[in-house]
Amino acid sequence: MILAVLFANSEGNILVERFNGVPAEERLHWRSFLVKLGADNLKGVKNEELLVASHKSVYIVYTVLGDVSVYVVGKDEYDELA
């Protein structure tokens, strides 16, 4: 299940965010955590190279597309064939 999708610019400003099933009080935590994660790990990463991390039993896939960082947070297994 997808919990969050965020797009941020190279300065760490969030351009677009969508949360699904994440309580309002946790959203600020996720915003700051994801931007910090990207600042620490996306320097020098090739365009469209996927990075994966885990935090609090969820998985985060993130990448750079030009000057935009993309973060997808999800949990559980999703299989469209199931």
Over residues 22-71, the pLDDT tens digits come to 999 999 999 999 999 998 899 889 998 999 999 888 999 999 999 999 99
pTM: 0.87
Question: What CATH architecture applies to the domain 2-74?
Answer: 2-Layer Sandwich (3.30)
Give pLDDT, residue 41: 92
Better-predicted residue by pLDDT, 79 or 35: 35
pLDDT band at 78 (very low <50, low <70, confident <90, very high): low
Please list, residue by residue across 9-33, b when 16 or more beta carbons sit within 10 angstroms of its beta carbon and e when fewer do: eeeeeeeeeebeeeeeeeeeebbeb
Give pLDDT, residue 55: 84
Q: Do 47 and 34 touch, CB atoms closer than 8 A?
A: no
